[in-house]
Amino acid sequence: MRAPAATLALLLLVGTATAAVDEAAYQRLATGLTDHVALPAVTGFRAATVDFAGTMTTFCATPETADPATVEAGFATLMTAWQRVQPIDFGPLQSDGGPARFQYWPDRRGTGSRQLARVLKDDDPDVLDARSLAGKSVALADLQALERLLFEDGGAGDPFRCAYAAAIAGVQAERAAALAGAWTAVDGQADAMRSATSGNDRYYDAAEAARDYLGALTHGLQRIVEAKLEPVLRDEAAAARPRAAESWRSGLSTADIIANLETLEALVTDPDGFAALAKEADDPLLGRTLAGMIGEARQRLQALPLPLAEASEDPPLHAELLEVADLLHRAHRLAEHTLAATVGLTAGFNASDGD
């Protein structure tokens, strides 16, 4: 599959570094991306969970007069906030059960789906209280379970489903608060990033801290291609699997990827991000090229006239999505190999590798 001519031209012009990147440059990246990208994402997610918990409490108190559209819109805001955090997949996000405590997806073996089906069949009262629910399987208190409750079988109009959804919202608010706290606490993740050049209990030096952000960039691009696009698209529209799409019930599959890409793009384009770091290594074109590829993919997804699940079965849109997947695959390779070598870093192992 051929890439757009403009992208090919840029790729051909990308050179190799001629200058070493110093420790001060790594520290600027670690500090800048923490303050400008990671912290706004995690604190925004915390705020979205609090808002949605309030929305569910209000809705469940007066379901006969409340507007279900308010709940659906609130869920979309919440999921988008989570998807902006998802690529920051190191440190606090990998602690306490990992990202699955927020979203148990992909559920390749159907474990969470079966657990949820049993709860709904039995009207298990233990899931109606946030404290007891928090001690159960992560698949029963995550955003996937919440989506199913809100967008399947009549949604939150059923009293049991409404109370259960409200309990999940409460659990998510507590977990998001803990995640944000782990970043913002004294000597927390943000402080560790800001002081990495001096060494601390998390990082030997600033290069090691910068490497975590490089891993977030490369693994984030890889995850979109290998988990969010390829399993849905397969080789042709006739073989597409629309229900393999993330958030297919709520129609948010495309929005999820776009939110991921917004964070990944910011890791490159932030004034202290990887484009600036590549420029320090005398390769100013590399960052612009990578940002252009990610931005192009985001814009093409935004232009889709149908949700991802439906678009995957439409031959022309399927072809468009395959091109987007190819573009992101090449962006991943550019980040993992050319960018890493240029700035003197190597993307490390990630807990999601090998899933």
* Domain end position, chosen among 187, 216, 241: 187
Whether 265 contacts 294, CB under 8 Å: yes
Q: Are residues 113 and 168 in the same domain?
A: yes
Report the CATH number at residue 134. Answer: 1.20.1420.20
Whether 100 contacts 123, CB under 8 Å: no
Residues of the domain holding 139: 39-187
With respect to residue 355, please indicate whether it lies within any of the assigned structural domains. no
* Domain end position, chosen among 126, 161, 187: 187
Q: Are residues 228 and 331 in the same domain?
A: yes
With respect to residue 352, please indicate whether it lies within any of the assigned structural domains. no
Q: Are residues 221 and 149 in the same domain?
A: no
Whether 270 contacts 33, CB under 8 Å: yes
Cα 70 from chain centre: 24
Q: How many domains does the chain have?
A: 2
For residue 161, give the H/E element and its range: helix 159-184
- pLDDT of res. 156: 87
Q: Are residues 208 and 148 in the same domain?
A: no
Whether 34 contacts 209, CB under 8 Å: no
Residues 6+ apart with CB under 8 A from 354: none
Rounded to whole angstroms, how far apart are CA atoms 262 and 138? 27
Give the count of alpha carbons within 13 A of 51, CB side only: 17
- pLDDT of res. 347: 65
Q: Are residues 162 and 124 in the same domain?
A: yes
* Domain end position, chosen among 162, 187, 212: 187
Per-residue pLDDT of the chain (355 residues; tens, 9 = 90+): 444 444 444 444 444 444 789 999 999 999 999 999 999 999 999 999 999 999 999 999 987 888 999 999 999 999 999 999 999 999 999 999 999 999 999 999 999 999 999 999 999 999 999 999 999 999 999 999 999 999 998 888 899 999 999 999 999 999 999 999 999 999 999 999 999 999 999 999 999 999 999 999 999 999 999 999 999 999 999 999 999 999 999 999 999 999 999 999 999 999 999 999 999 999 999 999 999 999 999 999 999 999 999 999 999 999 999 999 999 999 999 999 999 999 999 865 554 444 4
- pLDDT of res. 121: 93
DSSP readout, 68-95?
Answer: HHHHHHHHHHHHHHHHHHTT--SGGGGS
